[in-house]
Amino acid sequence: MTGNPLRAIAERALRHPFMRFCLVGGVATLIHAAVFFLVVGAGGSQLAGNVAGYGVASIWSYYLNCLWTFSASLSWAGFLRFQAANSVVLVWGVVAALIGQWLELPAPATLLLTVVVGPVLNYLGHSRLTFRKT
């Protein structure tokens, strides 16, 4: 009997840094959403929820992308480059939250606006700044 074909496909896919980046980012998005809803559910603003969610998810993402996705060393310089690239996503999260509040969108709509555009901006920044090969 042969092994599980789905497991073989998953193992082969996870050999590629892009797929690992997507997986780390997907989990980071779930972390962002969980923190966002915890803050908003506790009476905080959508802006506070997005900023807090960004902070927690950003630390997770740097750590895992360094060690697992790109096999890079953890360093303060790398963390600063990572945050510089992420700052575009943070600014977008603030803009999305302000748009959501201005239009009186429900919190899930604001979060959706954040997590649809944010990952595209994030990948472009990290591929060109944080983890580029010199």
- Residues making up the chain, counted from first to last: 134
Q: Using one digit for the tens of pLDDT, what is the confidence trace for 33-91?
A: 999 999 999 999 988 998 899 889 989 999 999 898 888 888 898 888 888 888 887 78
68 or 18, higher pLDDT: 68
Task: Extract the tokens encoding 133.
Answer: 């090969």
Q: Count Cβ neighbours within 10 Å for each residue of 74-93 and write b for 16 or more, e otherwise.
A: eeeebbebbeebbeebbebb
Q: How confident is the model at residue 134 (pLDDT cuts 50, 70, 90)?
A: low
Q: Is the pLDDT of residue 133 over 70?
A: no
E strands, 2-72, are: none
Gyration radius of the chain over CA positions = 16
pTM of the model: 0.68
Distance from C-alpha of 114 to C-alpha of 134, rounded to nearest angstrom: 31
